[in-house]
Amino acid sequence: MTAHPLTPLLAPSSVAIFGASNDPTRISGRSLRYYREAGYQGGLYPINPTRDTVQGLRAYPDLASVEGPVDCAVIAVPANLAIESMEACVKKGVRGIVMFTAGFAEIGAEGRAMQERITQIARDNDIRLCGPNCLGLFNMRTGHTATFSSFLEEGPTPSGPLGMVTQSGAFGTHLLALTARRGIAVGMWMSTGNEADVAVADGISFLADDPETVAIACYIEAIKDGKLFAEAVARARANGKPVIAMKVGASVIGTAAAASHTASLAGSDAVYDAAFRQLGVERAKTPEDLVEIAYACTRGRLPKSRRLAVVTMSGGAGVLMADAAEEEGLELAPLAEESQKEVLNWVPFAAPRNPVDVTAQALNDPTILDKGFELLLGKENFPSMVGFFTTWASSPQMAEPLFKSVSEAAARYPDRYFALSAIASPEMQRRYEACGVGLFEDPWRAVSSIGAAVRCAERLATPPFPIPPVPQNLPPVPPGRIAEHEAKRILADAGVPILDERLATNAGQAAAAAAGMGDRLVLKIVSADIPHKTEMGGVMLNVPAAEAGKAYDELVGRVQARAPRAQLDGVLISPMITDGVETILGVQNDPVFGPVVMFGLGGIFVEVLRDVTFRVAPFGVEEARQMIGELRGAAMLEGARGQPPCDIDALATALSKLSVFVAAQKGRFTSIDINPLRVRPKGQGVVALDALILTPSEVSGDDEVAP
Amino acid sequence: MTAHPLTPLLAPSSVAIFGASNDPTRISGRSLRYYREAGYQGGLYPINPTRDTVQGLRAYPDLASVEGPVDCAVIAVPANLAIESMEACVKKGVRGIVMFTAGFAEIGAEGRAMQERITQIARDNDIRLCGPNCLGLFNMRTGHTATFSSFLEEGPTPSGPLGMVTQSGAFGTHLLALTARRGIAVGMWMSTGNEADVAVADGISFLADDPETVAIACYIEAIKDGKLFAEAVARARANGKPVIAMKVGASVIGTAAAASHTASLAGSDAVYDAAFRQLGVERAKTPEDLVEIAYACTRGRLPKSRRLAVVTMSGGAGVLMADAAEEEGLELAPLAEESQKEVLNWVPFAAPRNPVDVTAQALNDPTILDKGFELLLGKENFPSMVGFFTTWASSPQMAEPLFKSVSEAAARYPDRYFALSAIASPEMQRRYEACGVGLFEDPWRAVSSIGAAVRCAERLATPPFPIPPVPQNLPPVPPGRIAEHEAKRILADAGVPILDERLATNAGQAAAAAAGMGDRLVLKIVSADIPHKTEMGGVMLNVPAAEAGKAYDELVGRVQARAPRAQLDGVLISPMITDGVETILGVQNDPVFGPVVMFGLGGIFVEVLRDVTFRVAPFGVEEARQMIGELRGAAMLEGARGQPPCDIDALATALSKLSVFVAAQKGRFTSIDINPLRVRPKGQGVVALDALILTPSEVSGDDEVAP
């Protein structure tokens, strides 16, 4: 197995520090101090031309003076010396650079130019560059502490199962402080700063391969390359590691603040949300959520299914945890009759169903705990259990009996997920954690964290939906204006069914075309000058077949009156379809993720409720089916209000085919709208009744033809 | 001012303890120990016939032997001795009893009978009874500790501004532990157990009057008397105290568990939710939320408006807090141009708008903090400010400079709401809190807590919406089956407009009735035997006026064929209304809150999206307007999709009138449905097109008339 490309950055055998200060409290001195405190065993070379020694280590006047090889360099010099330092690194054969230095893209045009230069130097010389304008990174497996984060000021942090990648050094340091207070050990941490080269995705990718990393937590403001991110998450998933991400910038002001902060174009938050779902990233909404989910995912085991046993000494807490379980989609399967009787034998006034409320009776008879845990994990075979024991975990009377029961049960069933809601001293907390049992003060939080852990486990246990290949020979979207019937023909070739329709250029042709199309017809004007036909009176619905010729003249007359300068190419005639449900499909090019397919129900669902969902193209029918199910109004397609169920199979196929088609277009369209796509009753397929493709070489023609 | 009725329970001058044990660790001994540790200064009389002294105090063989008066008695004896103890209390003139004893309504029929007996004794003798089956209560203002909650095992808790009322003693104890860890002092606490007499509402009412209580937190499983609860919350609101409630049992399993736990019929969670909104209760979803909102509301001041200044040393945290602010409806007003320039003078790379990101520059120049706070609170006059300063609050370099700046700013502007997101030692945390500044580790939580505090402040700053009086002379709903036209007539009298409609009993009358009604008519069968007319073919829509006679015969014939045994009273003829938006009004009798009015939009909104909202009757038009605005589809009424805005004034009036009418009925109906009520374009009012009133003396007649 070849080493990961980020190895020189995150696991180097030797490190040089440019600008290493003798003062261990200064930014330029901290990293060196941290290395020494963390016991880094590799070569460590302070570069400082003004001193013989720095913090007791031999100092080198320049990188060339270092005798042995140097894998990684930390650059903490002012911006005007950064390029010089990089060139020295190139000469020395350094393969990883961590650049703290600020004053690049974040300060404007001049800085941007300088950032492009250092990026180019890195690319040309096969150097991976973290930063600039970052707080660096650490790997506590080796004591590699290329960071000046204040988090290490009070000494090295223990290595551990969580990996963390952050786009904000300051906020990433805050997250380190929060995880440390929660008792989660972060083994590797990387802040990516301006992401001139190394991005969040690279960090995820490295952690995906790191054997000691169990879960990966990310703080994200704006992903630059959606494809790279997707590949990294897929790698983590393949290697059995949940990726938990907090992505900020969902609000109007937040998005603006994020853009100014990261100097990169952020995509829509709704698209991030969809992409995270699609890739299997567990999205955390708040820092608390991120920390608690990371805690739940680093207990050494994950829940095997959604079945959950709740055991409690307070009826109220049982109710609360049942509420939380329902919200999380966890299943509180009731105990077998026989087991319920057993519980009632121990505690006559127990609630024996699930939640199992053993009341405070265990204060008098602690064997109830042993018996209860054994019943739930043994006979009832629950894969997960959460117990509410409030302050018992710290009470003089109950702390040890409770710990004994819990730790023994956890040892007897090492594959089960066991969480407690209890208040304990930090020492007792660590003792439980050493047995693989997580502690949560809030019983709701205990259950919601299990819910997140279950979702993570489910993703890791199932392969991702297959992504269909994008054939090379798909027809390209042509440049220029595309008329409706051309747009539909293109989409039909792509696999989105359309109606039998005929173009008529006079009333006689219209009458002829109508023959055999059914009783009622739709007539639509065809003109590349009129993208929004309805507004210009260019659509006639429900026309009796016998009146097609007359309707042709009326329609053309009406449109000519309103848009005298528009060139009319004729009238499209097609059958009138009224069955099924109206839906809307759209495609936009997201700056982060590329072509993104939108799906929603028509009418009030999209106009009033904004009930739409997204997926990054390309995707398969399984993914499309999930997408459809996410709509609040999904029941409309399943046969609500006495209607027959719709052809969801055909809809999923059309969505997938559309996604494959747009993935092949490489910027040849700016947007695609299929509005409406009618989803007909089951077995009868879908039909696009109208379609609009805009290309980069044209804009909407409304202004030109409006009177 | 007369003393509150609960004074003998919560602030007694003397206390007797039945069954006081000499063992201070036993349930029957703990309360006495707690009294002595808390320094209770009133008369304290252990009742124990087997000993001369108990825990060093003189013991009395019975209550009669106590020389002086006794305000309050704690009863900790077995259930079979409880009545005897109560009778002794009656003789002694005790006015408050706290009964720990279990074995009453929670164990079944026998216990229920015994509970009824003790309740009756209390009622007959003007005694307020807390419990039975409760953990008691405490009032740390006086050291009155009539509880065996383990919370006081480690010594008395300091008195403080939060009052807490809980329906679960065990979970209430957990909440005490959580609030104590958060640094919130609970001055008074009451667990209500079986609520034989004293309910959560009584506790709220007492705390509303208590001068030292600043905010009231509640844990609720099921309210027994909605009216009493409403009065107590109104009292707290009038006295300037926010009520924060966590109510469990929203889920299917949770509701069942709550019912078995409290042995009382819980109303629908959706109705609780509506009632809380209506009364101005801040609902907390989780224990964490309850604790954090209580923390935010006990800082000695509340936010004066939704305008919020965010100041941060991390751009990422600024983005996050902007997201949180948008979700909470807080307004991050941008700083004036001039102020923004000032910020840029101090820190050239700051983000000066709001969030104001001063970057880590304050590490080098702490005066930036003073200048920044002064700018935001002084010149910019923000009523609230939140600052993100991560670990600075505990760092050797920054802890003191930051505290100095913050505490001085808080002192200069004592009416402003000032919160920090920072990680500090418990001691530093207490120092900030002493200045009125709240600390939150999670910046999102800091903002969401401010959001809750703003909502609480807004409620306290505005009087509740006026509740219309319920006149005595409203017509009663008659008993028995009520035909559609009678139901509409009743509702019209109540103030819900109906259409001009006429009853015809033959085709000739139908033709005559149609004259002058408009072009298109609706014909509906009238029969008390057919409550669901449409299903029986009993409705004809869009009938041309000229064909009314013919339609009469067709309609009657159709219904007779399907329901030959139904007695037909004729056909109702009315104009066909097609403009406006279809809505649904309903009324149910909630077991907790009484008549509750439901409102929703028709069609998919109610059938697919379950987009409905509730209010407890009676309520005024302002409340009705809020209710209407809560619907997800509210835009439909405001003129969505090119339609004219609807007559929301008329709708609000109809909702309010309906609520007043049903509030007067006192059980004379079981349900009322107005489906549809058409809300016509602005100025044209609303009309009930169909109505169904069911009364207790009848059930749906479908079964009887179906063939």
Rounded mean pLDDT of A568-583?
Answer: 92
* Partners of residue B445 in chain A, C-beta under 8 Å: 286, 288
Question: What is the per-residue pLDDT across A194-224, written as a single tens digit (0 to 9) for each?
Answer: 999 999 999 999 999 999 999 999 999 999 9
Question: Which amino acid would we find at residue A311?
Answer: V
Work out whether strand B686-688 and strand A520-526 pair parallel, antiparallel, or are unpaired.
Answer: unpaired
Percentage of chain B beyond pLDDT 90 is: 84
Q: Read off the pLDDT band of B658 (50, 70, 90).
A: very high
Give residues with Cβ within 8 angstroms of A502, minimum separation 6: A509, A513, A572, A573, A574
- Contact in structure between A675 and A601 (CB atoms under 8 Å): no
**Beta-carbon separation of B254 and A360 below 8 A:** no
Rounded mean pLDDT of A357-370?
Answer: 91
**Beta-carbon separation of A178 and B318 below 8 A:** no
**Beta-carbon separation of A390 and B177 below 8 A:** yes
Question: What is the Cβ-side half-sphere exposure of residue A660, based on CA atoms within 13 angstroms?
Answer: 23
Distance from CA of B2 to the nearest CA of A (A): 35
**Beta-carbon separation of B173 and A442 below 8 A:** no
Among A289, A313, A320, A439, the strongest candidate for a mutation testing the B interface, having the largest count of B CBs within 10 A, is: A320
* Partners of residue A178 in chain B, C-beta under 8 Å: 423, 441-442
Q: Read off the pLDDT band of A578 (50, 70, 90).
A: confident
Nearest CA in chain B to A180: B423
Nearest CA in chain A to B323: A251
The 3-class secondary structure across B379-434, one letter per residue, is HCCCCEEEEEEEHHHHCCCCHHHHHHHHHHHHHHCCCCEEEEEECCCHHHHHHHHH
Percentage of chain A beyond pLDDT 90 is: 84
Q: Read off the pLDDT band of B260 (50, 70, 90).
A: low
**Beta-carbon separation of A251 and B641 below 8 A:** no
CA distance B434 to B454: 21
Question: What is the per-residue pLDDT across A313-332, written as a single tens digit (0 to 9) for each?
Answer: 999 999 999 999 999 999 99
Phi, psi of A497, rounded to the nearest 5 degrees: -60, 145
Question: What is the per-residue pLDDT across A131-185, written as a single tens digit (0 to 9) for each?
Answer: 999 999 999 999 999 999 999 998 999 999 999 999 999 999 999 999 999 999 9
Work out whether strand A691-694 and strand A671-679 pair parallel, antiparallel, or are unpaired.
Answer: antiparallel
Of A108, A132, A109, residue with least CA distance to A119? A132
**Beta-carbon separation of B441 and A609 below 8 A:** no
* Partners of residue B252 in chain A, C-beta under 8 Å: 326
pLDDT at B699 over 70: no
Q: Read off the pLDDT band of B39 (50, 70, 90).
A: very high
Residue A500: what pLDDT? 87
Question: What is the per-residue pLDDT across B43-88, written as a single tens digit (0 to 9) for each?
Answer: 999 999 999 999 999 999 999 999 999 999 999 999 999 999 999 9
Rounded mean pLDDT of A251-260?
Answer: 70
Nearest CA in chain A to B169: A314
Residue for token pair 């939906």: A465
Structure tokens given for A42: 């590799």
Residue A247: what pLDDT? 96
* Partners of residue A248 in chain B, C-beta under 8 Å: 316, 319-320, 323
Nearest CA in chain B to A424: B177
Distance from CA of B600 to the nearest CA of A (A): 15
Residue A267: what pLDDT? 60
Question: Which amino acid would we find at residue B293?
Answer: I
Nearest CA in chain A to B327: A251
pLDDT at A549 over 60: yes
Nearest CA in chain A to B325: A251
The burial class, CB within 10 Å (0-12 / 13-18 / 19+), for B408 is middle
CA distance B396 to A246: 30
Residue B652: what pLDDT? 98
Is the whole model's pTM more than 0.95, yes or no?
A: no
CA distance B502 to B202: 53
Distance from CA of A166 to the nearest CA of B (A): 10
Question: What is the per-residue pLDDT across A642-679, written as a single tens digit (0 to 9) for each?
Answer: 889 999 999 999 999 999 999 999 889 999 999 999 99
pLDDT at A703 over 50: no
Task: Say which range, A366-380, B46-60, B348-362, has the weakest mean pLDDT.
Answer: B348-362
* Partners of residue B25 in chain A, C-beta under 8 Å: 397
Residue A265: what pLDDT? 44
Task: Say which range, A492-501, A560-569, A639-648, B603-612, has the weakest mean pLDDT.
Answer: B603-612
Is the model more confident about B4 or about B518? B4
Distance from CA of A442 to the nearest CA of B (A): 6
Which of A151, A248, A314 is facing B323, going by the closest CB pair? A248
Percentage of chain B beyond pLDDT 70 is: 97
- Contact in structure between A419 and A450 (CB atoms under 8 Å): yes
Rounded mean pLDDT of B377-389?
Answer: 97
* Partners of residue A351 in chain B, C-beta under 8 Å: 257, 260-261
Residue A694: what pLDDT? 93
**Beta-carbon separation of A314 and B249 below 8 A:** no
Residue B659: what pLDDT? 98
Question: What is the Cβ-side half-sphere exposure of residue A82, based on CA atoms within 13 angstroms?
Answer: 26
Distance from CA of A256 to the nearest CA of B (A): 8
Nearest CA in chain B to A263: B315
Q: Read off the pLDDT band of B250 (50, 70, 90).
A: confident
* Partners of residue B248 in chain A, C-beta under 8 Å: 316, 319-320, 323
Nearest CA in chain A to B170: A314
pLDDT at B257 over 70: no
Residues in chain B: 707
Of A7, A299, A247, A321, residue with least CA distance to A141? A7
pLDDT at B263 over 60: no
Residue A706: what pLDDT? 36
**Beta-carbon separation of B178 and A423 below 8 A:** yes
The answer to whether the complex's ipTM is over 0.85 is yes
**Beta-carbon separation of B609 and A607 below 8 A:** no
Which of B172, B314, B332 is facing A168, going by the closest CB pair? B314
Question: What is the per-residue pLDDT across B402-455, written as a single tens digit (0 to 9) for each?
Answer: 999 999 999 999 999 999 999 999 999 999 999 999 999 999 999 999 999 999
| Region for B639 from its dihedrals, namely left if φ exceeds 0, alpha if ψ lies in -120 to 50, beta otherwise | left
Residue A1: what pLDDT? 62
Question: What is the per-residue pLDDT across B116-141, written as a single tens digit (0 to 9) for each?
Answer: 999 999 999 999 999 999 999 999 99
CA distance B675 to B533: 12
Give residues with Cβ within 8 angstroms of B486, minimum separation 6: none
Residue A169, CA distances (Å) to A112, A624, A637 in order: 20, 37, 47
Distance from CA of B288 to the nearest CA of A (A): 6
Distance from CA of B238 to the nearest CA of A (A): 30
Among B157, B253, B347, B636, the strongest candidate for a mutation testing the A interface, having the largest count of A CBs within 10 A, is: B253
pLDDT at A451 over 80: yes
Residue A259: what pLDDT? 60
Mean pLDDT of the residues in chain B: 93
Q: Read off the pLDDT band of B606 (50, 70, 90).
A: confident
Question: Which amino acid would we find at residue B356?
Answer: V
Question: What is the per-residue pLDDT across A69-123, written as a single tens digit (0 to 9) for each?
Answer: 999 999 999 999 999 999 999 999 999 999 999 999 988 899 999 999 999 999 9
* Beta strand segments in A116-168, E: 128-130, 137-139, 162-166
Chain Cα centroid distance, residue B331:
25
Question: Could you say which DSSP state residue A638 is in?
Answer: G
Residue A260: what pLDDT? 56
Helical (H) or strand (E) element with B319: helix B315-328
Residue A534: what pLDDT? 84
**Beta-carbon separation of B324 and A174 below 8 A:** no
CA distance B677 to B689: 6
* Partners of residue B355 in chain A, C-beta under 8 Å: 253, 257
Residue B313: what pLDDT? 94
CA distance A311 to A318: 7
Rounded mean pLDDT of A380-398?
Answer: 95
pLDDT at B264 over 60: no
Rounded mean pLDDT of B672-682?
Answer: 95
Nearest CA in chain B to A247: B320
